[in-house]
Structure formats: structure tokens, C-alpha cells
Amino acid sequence: MFQRLIRELRTMRRLMVWVAVLGGVTGGLIIAEASAIAHIVAGIYLGHWGYRTLIRGLGLLLLIVLARGLVAGFLETGSLNLSARIQSELRQRLLSRLFEAGPLAWNREHGGELVNTVITGIDNLETFLARYVPQIAITALVPLVIGIRVLLSDWISAAILLITVPLIPFFMALIGRRAQVETDKRWAHLGRLGAHFLDLVQGLETLKLFGQSRRQTDALSQSAEQFRKSTMASLRLAFMSGMVLELLASLSMAMIAVAVGIRLVGGHISFERAIFLLILIPDFYAPWRALGAKFHDGLNGLAAARSLYEWLDRPPLAQGVGTVKIGQGGPWPIQLQHVGFRYSDRSPLVLRDVTAMIEPGEALAVIGPSGSGKSTLLSLLLGFADPTEGEILVNRVPFRDLDRAWWRTQVAYINQSPYLFDGTIEDNLRLARPDADDRAVADAIRAAHLDEALARFPEGVLTKVGENGMRLSGGERQRVALARAFLQAKPFIVLDEPAAHLDARTEAVLTEAIHRLKTASTVILVTHRWKTLEAADRILLLIEGQVAEIGRPAALSHPFFRQAQRLAAQGEEAMVDALLG
């Protein structure tokens, strides 16, 4: 994973070059500092330096210490800046991939785990990139530079270093394998905890109504306890790795100190060289100790990178790389030829042999029981996935040849819970068409009967709607979405359960809006409300992913449709809603 980050990210390569250069400079300054201290100590005790000579020596030492501080500062600042760029690049790539994947891919994932990857996961990379990665480079360079200098000064001390150093990465690798397993478990527990918490927040009202809030709180506590245990297990291994490094480094330094001391007493090594070696050897092991202290950060960063690349490596459901843009203005005929779709090679077909023609300017309603593939069919028409079998033609152009970004500019989409951003009503309307003038906005408001709702707000279109339109009712939010569709004036209008949770008055407004929209656009409608079907010119009945029947409402004869029709005639609207899913 580390090699992949270096291979794929240009900024990552710049970070490694930056760290390598400053790491080499740091090694040279460490040697210079040790040499200066040894020279000063030897000059004081053996050379009987005078005051001026001592001041010059201390001045040189001070310059070296300041230089080390500056290099360390440059290394820290540069690493943080470059790591921030890498995080930004990865977050941008991930968000671009999520936008390309579309809701068909998002809806198959736990929202908490996805949020954990996008936010916490990429944030964890900061410590990994700004602390752990530079420390790896320093650990590779500084001991090498110091080892070469030790070899030139005393081959016996160099031999002890050569014998003991391989033990450090050996034990780190042994502990690291187990630590990696525990870190992966911790990351999985964190994802499940985030998903569980998000579910509780989103379903808080339902839990209170059913008196299950205490039970779910206990379940959340259990998830948090699992995360705590996995975190502590990971930390125990991290502390163990630090202890092993400290033990090996201390034993090695003790061996060198004994060897140097014996030879100093015997007169086989000079006093200044002995002091130089005793000062320099701890700096040889210091990078290894620092690496052990940052070992836990490194594992967290790698786990986050793996989770990130799991998303980036997923094959997109929509593979289309076409560039065709249909010249003449729409709407155009859409033909589905033996269309089939499955989410993966191992999953069953969700749609099978779907064949239909959608004529320009008609309102086609897609109905069927729950799980029959209605929303999946809409996702195919929106370009969020490619058919596994068959093909879709728009004005006789294969869908795979169309420019997907252009195609989505030809479609307006309204679902049962349109999202409104925290701003004014006008802000949310202009999302559909930022360059629209005030007259166009006013016309769209009237067409969607939104002016009736605005009458109760003193500030009119400048009313703040709050997060996800919390200050508006469900019917008012749906009217804002309809006004956006009128403002966009797209050739195709796709409505996914737009009448869900609406009162009779708002549903009547919706039905009228569909009649008005289809005068200039093709309307494709998924609904389980019988009243809304009155706006449809034709109905496509899906059962178990297959077209059971298609035609004008009066001509349909399938038993499923006839049953719904009888229930609607008897006023059993709730049973019709349940039947149509």
C-alpha cells in the first residue's frame, strides 16, 4: 500500500525526495554536533583551552544546533504541507469516484462506514504522511550516514552495530504482523460503530415512538466497548514494539560503551574519539526508537489507505466512456432492448429481458411490487449503471456511446425525499439553473403552486429552510423540487415515488404538474399511489424484474394490475399502496 501511494501520487514522491534530502543533511549535522562536543570536552580536560578558544568552540556548536533545529523545522513544516496536499488529492479522487458511482453504489453501503472513510480515514493519513513516512526515510538515512562515520572511526564499534541492527527490523516485522491484524480489526469496529451511530441518529424518532431507545443505547455501548477493546489490543502491541526497540538499543549501546571504555583504559583509543563515539551512538538508535513510537500511527494510516483504495478500486457500475451528444433538441425516443442487470457476477439478475419503447412527450409510469426492479431501471436510465445484458438506445444512439455528463444535463430527477440545502428557498431553486432570471423563477414557483406555500412565510423566497429543509413540510419540500424541475425545463423528467407521504392537495398539485411537464418533456414515473397514475399515458408493469405488461391503463389486463384497480375502486388506498410497494 505504501509503494502504491508513492507510485500513484506525484506529491507523495515530492514528499519522499524532500524527506530524503533533509534526512541526509540531518545525519551530517548529527555527526558534526557529536564531533564538536567531543572536541570541546577533550580541549577542556586535556588541552586546557583558554576562554577565547572555548567561546569559539561553543559558538560553532551553537551554530550546528541551530542548523539542526532549522532543518527539523523545515522537515516538519514541509511534511505537513505536502501531507495536506496528498490528503486533498485523495479526498478529491474519492469524492469524484463517489459522484461517478452514483446512488446505486452508495445505497449498498453503510453510510457510517462511508463517512468514516471519507473523513476519519483521510484525516488519519495526516499523521501517517507527516510523521510516520518522514520517520521511515530518516530511519533509513541517518543511521546509514552515522554507521559509515563510525566505521571510519572505529571498526569494532561498527561491527557491534552491524550485528545488533538487523535484530531491530526483524522483531518489528514479527510484532508488526500481529499489530496489523489488530489494527484492521479496530478499523472494522470503528466503521461498524459509525454506521450504528448514524442509524440511531437517523431513526431516533422511530426508536422513541416504539420505546426502543434504551435498548439501542445498550447496543451502541456494546459496539463502543468492542472498539475500545480492539484499540487497547492495538496499543498494547504498539507499546510492546517500543519496549523491544528500547531494549535492543540499550543493550547495543551498553556493549559499545563497554568496548570503548576497556580500550580507552588500555590506551588503544584516544579520549576525543571515545567521547565522539559515545555521543554519536545514541543518535544512531534514536531514529529507530522514534519509528517505534510512531509505529501505531503508521498502522492506522495504512489501514485507512487500504479502506480508501477499496473504494477507489471498485469497478464502476457505469463503464460508459462515450462522447456522443445528440444535436437536435429533445425529448428523444428511448428504446430498451432485452435489458438485464445484476450488481455483480455472483448476484442474480435484478432486471431480465426488459424491452420497451418510451415515446417523446409521453408520461410512462413504472409500477410493480416491492423489489421488482423499478428503482434499478431508473438508475440505468439516469446513467448510474450500464445494463449487464441488452442495451438502451436514445434516438437510436447506444447509451454506452453517449457522454454521461451531457446526458445528465438532459434529465431532471425528483425522488420522494428531495434534499434541500441550508439556505433560502431561492438558493435551492437556483441550484437547478443558476443563470435563471427572476421572471423564470417566479414562473416556476407558480407552475408548482409553490406560491401558495410561500404565502405563509413573511420573507417569501428568501426564507431560510434550514438543514434538509427542516422548516418546510414534506409537501412544501416536494413543491420546491417540482419548481426546480419546471425551472430546469429538461427534455426528460424522472420521478421516483414523488407522491410518497403527500396529502391529497399536494398529490393533486403533483398530478397537475406532471400533465404540464409532459407538454415539453418525457416524464418517467415510479409510483405506488393510484391517484398519481391518472397522469400516466402508459403503464409499464414490472414483476420480478421482468416486463409483465405495458400499455395504456384501460388496455392492461394483468391480474396484478386488475387487483390494484379493484382495490382503488373500493377506496382501499392503503392496500393499493402496499400492493404497489
Compute the average pLDDT of residues 179-205.
71
Percent of the chain with pLDDT over 70: 86
- Joined grid coordinates for residue 363: 408520461
When pLDDT is cut at 50, 70 and 90, the band that residue 340 belongs to is: very high
Q: So what's the pLDDT on residue 413?
A: 87
pLDDT tens figures, 457-467 = 888 888 888 87
Q: Is the pLDDT of residue 107 over 80?
A: no
Q: So what's the pLDDT on residue 265?
A: 84
**Residue 303 to residue 292: CA distance in whole angstroms:** 17
**Residue 358 to residue 493: CA distance in whole angstroms:** 12
Q: So what's the pLDDT on residue 99?
A: 73
296-330: b (≥16 Cβ within 10 Å) or e: bbbbbbbbbbbbbbebeeeeebbebeeebebeeeb
504-517 helix and 474-488 helix, angle to the nearest 10 degrees = 10
CA 478 to chain centre: 29
* DSSP per position, 329-359: -S---EEEEEEEE-SSTTSPPSEEEEEEEE-
Q: How many CB atoms lie within 10 A of CB 101?
A: 20
Q: Is the pLDDT of residue 114 over 90?
A: no
Q: So what's the pLDDT on residue 245?
A: 75
Q: Is the pLDDT of residue 500 over 80?
A: no
β-pairing, 397-398 with 546-551? Answer: unpaired
Name the least confident of 105-119, 264-278, 370-384: 105-119
Q: Which CATH number fits domain 1-313: 1.20.1560.10, 1.20.120.330, 3.20.20.120, 1.10.10.10?
A: 1.20.1560.10
Two domains, one topology: 1-313 and 334-580: no
Q: Is the pLDDT of residue 356 over 90?
A: yes
Q: Is the pLDDT of residue 2 over 60?
A: no
Compute the average pLDDT of residues 381-403.
89
Q: Is the pLDDT of residue 250 over 60?
A: yes
Compute the average pLDDT of residues 352-368.
92
Comparing 216 with 445, the larger pLDDT belongs to 445
When pLDDT is cut at 50, 70 and 90, the band that residue 135 belongs to is: confident
Q: So what's the pLDDT on residue 364?
A: 93
Q: Is the pLDDT of residue 176 over 90?
A: no
When pLDDT is cut at 50, 70 and 90, the band that residue 352 belongs to is: very high
Q: So what's the pLDDT on residue 309?
A: 75
Domain boundaries, the chain: 1-313, 334-580
Q: So what's the pLDDT on residue 110?
A: 57
What single letter denotes the amino acid at residue 31? I
Supply the pTM of this predicted model: 0.66
Greatest mean pLDDT among 177-186, 436-445, 468-477 lies in 436-445
Q: Is the pLDDT of residue 274 over 70?
A: yes
Query: Which residues neighbour 319 within 8 Å (Cβ) at sequence distance 6 or greater?
Result: 386, 400
Q: Is the pLDDT of residue 68 over 80?
A: yes
pLDDT tens figures, 291-323 = 766 766 666 666 777 777 777 777 666 766 778
| Average pLDDT along the chain | 81
Comparing 205 with 326, the larger pLDDT belongs to 326
Q: So what's the pLDDT on residue 5?
A: 64
Q: So what's the pLDDT on residue 453?
A: 81
Q: Which CATH number fits domain 334-580: 3.40.50.1980, 3.40.50.10800, 3.40.50.300, 3.40.50.1370?
A: 3.40.50.300
**How much is the CA Rg of the chain, to the nearest whole Å?**
34
Q: Is the pLDDT of residue 337 over 90?
A: yes
Q: Helix/strand/coil (H, E, C) string of 89-108?
A: HHHHHHHHHHHHHCHHHHCC
From the list 348, 159, 117, 148, the residue with the least C-alpha distance to 259 is: 159
Comparing 108 with 566, the larger pLDDT belongs to 566
Compute the average pLDDT of residues 29-41.
87
Q: Is the pLDDT of residue 6 over 70?
A: no
pLDDT tens figures, 73-90 = 888 787 777 777 777 777
Q: What 8-state DSSP symbol labels residue 320?
A: -
